[in-house]
Amino acid sequence: MPIDQITLDILWARLIATTNDQAAALMRSSFTSIVRDAADLAAGVFDRRGRMIAQAVTGTPGHINSMATGMIHVLEKFPIDTLKPGDVIITNDPWFTASQLNDITITTPVFKNGRCIALFANCCHALDIGGRGLSADSRSVFEEGLQIPIMKLIDGGDRVEPIWTLIEKNVRTPREVLGDLHCQITGNEHGARQLLQFLDEFGLDDIEDLADEIVTRSEAAMRDRIRALPDGTYRYDLTVDGFDAPLTIKAAIIVAGDRLVVDYAGSPGPVPLGVNVTLNYTTAYTNYGVKCALAGDIPNNEGSFLPLTVTAPEGSLLNCTFPAAVGGRHLVGHFLPSAVMGALADALPDAVQAPGFDGLWDTHISGTDRDGRHFSYTWFSAGGAGAMAGKDGMSATAYPSGIAGVPAESIEALAPLVVRERSLRTDSGGPGQFRGGLGQVMEIEVLTDADYLFSGLYERTRHPAPGLHGGGAGQVGALRTNDESDLQPKISTMLSPNTITTLAMPGGGGYGPAHLRDPEHVLADVLDGYVSVESAARDYGVVIDEDSGRVDEAGTAALRAGMAGES
């Protein structure tokens, strides 16, 4: 039946509140800082047809959008009317969900009057999944850990004990991994209770009419935004480090009426090590980039995805086939929103963002502490985001993943680590009329008397984030140790106990010519320690009188005249 606008607004608000409570219950009960502090998760509600209707505001695009396009696989294995109250479904299949074995998806059906009316699902990064650990140096998915096909973890309320035992025996941190599985189940159950409560309040038997209205309106709004773009093909190439050779992502956006296709033909073929990306994950981050540029205010659900198509040649880097290694898939996948925005830079100059550090820096350290106890700990860190028209890039901010930085206090409380330094990295943001965001510097000491394993998943150590519309590139990242150990950005290394490691993270690209930046803004950057005096003169053409602490207007005018002539 038709739903009037006021009722729709109320029901929509309740749906969002329900998914937010679902995510909050999961985060507050989690056993790991990955979920509790970093929010490396996603949560959402799906209708009987497997369409995502609403999502929590907390979560990563790679998790939520992969669930959105992956729920169909769950329902193919377990058709909706075969599910029973008390069922819980689990999988970490990279080709059906979030493209990495560490990301485990839990799905729980919701019943009213004996009929399944909806599905709640969430996806979380498990602290460990066996295999090589968090690194990209595997040569197939078989080396990367335990693969869990789509199967029941709980069947009609009864635990499927062999699966729980299998997981427990194949991970290094069973307490945390199994604990978080319970928390994922609890989050879904909390969302289900909230949904049933508000359906009773409004006298509804299911969410099908509401889902149809949400999907239809979102699709229509998305088509209107696409229709406003001139028809044509928009292209952009973006280069990342890769392993032994750089990888260039080639994006072509084809706009035809109210349809938009993103085609990655011409991008690299598969690589022998673990940065390959499944099409599900490629689609997830591509859709996110399109939404950010075109329709950030349109709800993220099945309807807003319908006008979008993402293609990549089968077997290629961005549509890899089993059993390709995918453990570091975000070291390519996280760059896709920047490729999309680069392609749309001329069509939507005021709505796009310059590329940033993009590929989340993941660090995993394991060994034995000074009391002989084993430890295994992972945290995520962020460099600088790209700038856009009217806004400097955000510093030490995890765009596009949205993952939060874990406080140093949490890191030191959960592992025998000391964060000796955590600071913004001067001059790392790309110069521009609007400056790229700064990376950060982290100096880490491990409190151990034995060699320990250091694993990192790092990008942009050789190829910086480029600017847009005349903006400059950010600085590349760097790894160094106090004893000059040979650290590779994507390969595990054993380090001696007295090793202190420094992570210098990349900065984001600038937007617009640097000589157009307001000199007073450059001065403020210098005073804040974001830009050095030397960089102010070299990159921005701003001369600062260090005695008075003010801009030298005559010197600045002369420098900028030369810069304007060169540009």
Nearest to 344 by CA among 221, 180, 495, 232: 232
Within 10 angstroms of residue 297's Cβ, the number of other Cβ atoms is: 8
Distances (CA, A) of 116 to 17, 112, 206, 358, 398: 21, 7, 9, 40, 37
Q: Which DSSP letter does residue 391 get?
A: B
pLDDT band at 5 (very low <50, low <70, confident <90, very high): confident
Dihedral sign of CA atoms 257, 259, 262, 263 in order:
negative
- What is the structure's pLDDT at 399? 95
Residue tagged 């070299």 (tokens): 538
| Chain centroid offset of residue 564 CA | 38
pLDDT tens for each residue of 58-71:
889 999 999 999 99
**For residues 372-386, average pLDDT:** 94
The b-or-e profile of 16-35 (16+ CB within 10 A means b, else e) is: bebbbbbbbbbbebbbbbbb
d(CA 565, CA 556): 14
pLDDT at residue 244, as a whole number: 83
| Predicted local confidence at residue 243, as pLDDT | 86
- Ranges of each domain in the chain: 5-219, 353-512
- In the predicted model, what is the mean pLDDT of residues 170-184? 96
Q: What is the pLDDT of residue 2?
A: 65
H-helix or E-strand spanning residue 563: helix 553-566
pLDDT at 475: 98
Round to whole Å and give the CA distance between 104 and 126: 7
What is the rounded CA–CA span in Å between residue 256 and residue 446? 55
Largest CA distance in the chain: 80
- pLDDT for 273: 92
For range 265-280, the mean pLDDT: 96
- CA atoms of 18 and 532, how far apart (whole Å): 47
Q: What is the pLDDT of residues 186-202, one digit of tens each?
A: 999 999 999 999 999 99
Residue 1 above 60 pLDDT?
no
Which of 517, 455, 513, 440 shows the shortest CA–CA distance to 488? 455
Residue in this structure with the two tokens 């979920």, named with its chain if needed: 35
Interval 443-469 mean pLDDT: 96
Residue 151: predicted pLDDT: 98
What number of CA atoms fall less than 13 Å from residue 460's CA on the CB side?
Answer: 32
The reported pLDDT for the residue numbered 567 is 63
Across the strands, what pairs with 422? Answer: 442
> Mean pLDDT over all residues of the chain?
95
Reported as half-sphere exposure (CB side, CA atoms, 13 A), residue 461 has a value of 20
Residue 134: closest CA among 10, 40, 22, 250: 40
pLDDT of residue 247: 97
Whether 565 has a pLDDT exceeding 90, the answer reads: no
CA angle 471, 475, 480 (to 5 degrees): 175
The predicted model scores a pTM of: 0.95
Instruction: Decide: 422 and 440 in contact? Cβ < 8 Å.
Output: yes
| Length reported for the chain | 567
